Structure 1
Amino acid sequence: MEHVEVARSESERGELVLRERRPGKGPTVLELRANGTFVMDTAEHASERALADAALGAVADPRRVLVGGLGLGFTLDRVLADRRVEHVDVVEIEPALVDWMRDGTIPHGPRLLADARARVVVADIVQAVSEAGPSTYDVVLLDVDNGPDQLVHETNASIYDVPFLRRVRECLEPGGALVVWSAAASKTLVATLRDVFDEVGEHAHAVRLQDRDEHYWLYAARVASGA
């Protein structure tokens, strides 16, 4: 299989690389890697869509949505497909990734970001949540790393801890929901979410990843309607 680099960026967080996998047969696959670690690709994005489905299905009226992590845009695409959604803030820390989406380096990016309901903010998700007012969002989705036990960036560990999760709860409407994507099951994350939220669920999602059967995990946490 041939691998061709499409774009590369360097920042204080390290190296971000977009490359194509060109198999002998079948379509070309676009792949995103951070510091050499696989993040996601265009071949398997069912779990990113499932993340959106789980969040949007957890609340009755998901009008205002916060997505932590732009990635290759598949979660955002699924959120925007729900006509109940009126506004989506997407927080992405890597400006290069946003640029690749806007300029068509990621081919479906311009169409996706042209939706007037979507606003992309280049910032750290911790900062963005800390600046959000109470009851700002109906739904928050977090897909900013590979989960608490497979961190790409060690600084992201704080988003799985109680102080940050309490701040997320504050910016949710009563009855609102947080859904977190993880590459592996995490009993610690379940326990931490239960310290903060009123209802917590864990869901395995089977995927086929580069000819391997794997499972990704979704963690859904809700605020009680009367909270």
Structure 2
Amino acid sequence: MEYVEIARAESERGELVLRERRSEAGSSALELRANGVFVMDTLEVSTEQALASGALATVDDPRAVFVGGLGLGFTMHEVLADSRVEKVAVVEIEQALVDWMRDGTIPHGPAMLADERVTIVVADVAVALAEAAPASYDLVLLDVDNGPGYLVHEVNAALYEEPFLRAARRALRPGGVLAVWSAADSPELAEQLRAAFGNVQGQAHDVLLQDRDEQYWLFVSRVTSEA
């Protein structure tokens, strides 16, 4: 396997690297790493698609969607494939990643961002949700890490705890859903979601990641009158 660096950026959170992974058979994929930790690639995108499609299926009328984390754009892309969606706010803390998507360093980026329903906000997800007007969204998708057990940055641990989850609940309309992606089952996350929303449902998804069978999880909580 050969690796070719495409772009690199430094911020107060550390190093972000975009590289191309080339196999001896001639196939290639883009790979995103943060501080040396694998985040995602363009070869296996079913996890990002499952996050979006699984969450969208739980909402009757997902007109306004908040996506926490841009990544390589595949969660956002799957959300936009739903004709019911009228606007998508994507919050990404790394300016460099947004720039790579906009300028074509990530080749599929410009086409994805051309959709007029998309607004990209460079900000911390916790700050963006805290500042959101109450009942702004029908669906909030959280995809900033590989889950609470696989943090890209340690500060992100707060995103899986009750105070932040309650902020997400305030930003949701009645019947709205928060969906959180995790690379493993997390009873602790389920407990925090139940404390914030009064309910939680865990959904297991089988995926093939770099020739390995993995099971990822989607945790879904809904705003109800009882919560």
Q: Could you tell me the TM-score, scaled by structure 2's length? A: 0.97
**8 Å Cα contact 1:175/1:226 also seen in 2:** no
Give the letter for the 2:168 counterpart: V
Which is worse superposed, 195-204 or 116-125? 195-204
SS in 1 for 2:200: strand
Give the letter for the 1:192 counterpart: Q
Q: What percentage of aligned pairs have identical amino acids?
A: 65
Q: Distance in 1 between matches of 2:226 and 2:150?
A: 35
Q: Distance in 2 between matches of 1:56 and 1:210?
A: 26
**8 Å Cα contact 2:135/2:173 also seen in 1:** yes
Which residue of 2 is the match for residue 27 of structure 1?
Answer: 27
C-alpha displacement of 1:208: 1.3
C-alpha displacement of 1:147: 1.0
User: Which residues of structure 2 form unaligned runs of 5+?
Assistant: none
Q: Distance in 2 between matches of 1:222 and 1:127?
A: 21
The equivalences for 1:15-164 within 5 A come to 15-164=15-164
Give the letter for the 2:18 counterpart: L
C-alpha displacement of 1:199: 2.8
Q: What does the per-residue CA deviation read over 1:93-150, in whole Å, with 9 as the maximum and x for residues that have no partner? A: 0000000000011111000001000000000000000100110000000000121111
Q: Distance in 2 between matches of 1:198 and 1:53?
A: 23
Which residue of 2 is the match for residue 199 of structure 1?
Answer: 199
Q: What does the per-residue CA deviation read over 1:49-89, in whole Å, with 9 as the maximum and x for residues that have no partner? A: 01111221111100000000000000000000111100000
Which residue of 1 is the match for residue 170 of structure 2?
Answer: 170
Which residue of 2 is the match for residue 5 of structure 1?
Answer: 5
**Residue 186 and residue 226 in structure 1: after superposition, are their counterparts in 2 closer, same or farther (change >3 A)?**
closer
Moved beyond 6 Å, runs of 4+: none
Q: Distance in 1 between matches of 2:128 and 2:33?
A: 24
Q: Could you tell me the TM-score, scaled by structure 1's length? A: 0.97
Q: Distance in 1 between matches of 2:112 and 2:43?
A: 18
Q: Distance in 2 between matches of 1:123 and 1:65?
A: 16
Q: Distance in 1 between matches of 2:157 and 2:115?
A: 32
Q: Distance in 2 between matches of 1:225 and 1:104?
A: 45
C-alpha displacement of 1:203: 1.2
Q: What does the per-residue CA deviation read over 1:30-64, in whole Å, with 9 as the maximum and x for residues that have no partner? A: 00000000000011110100111122111110000
C-alpha displacement of 1:226: 7.4
C-alpha displacement of 1:210: 1.4
Alignment RMSD: 1.1
Give the letter for the 1:53 counterpart: S
Which is worse superposed, 18-27 or 185-194? 18-27
Q: Distance in 1 between matches of 2:84 and 2:33?
A: 33
**8 Å Cα contact 1:199/1:221 also seen in 2:** yes
User: Which residues of structure 1 form unaligned runs of 5+?
Assistant: none
**8 Å Cα contact 1:46/1:207 also seen in 2:** yes
**8 Å Cα contact 2:198/2:226 also seen in 1:** no
Q: Distance in 1 between matches of 2:60 and 2:204?
A: 23
**8 Å Cα contact 1:89/1:120 also seen in 2:** yes
Q: What does the per-residue CA deviation read over 1:131-182, in whole Å, with 9 as the maximum and x for residues that have no partner? A: 0011000000000012111111011011111111001101100000000011
**8 Å Cα contact 1:31/1:40 also seen in 2:** yes
How many pairs were matched up? 227
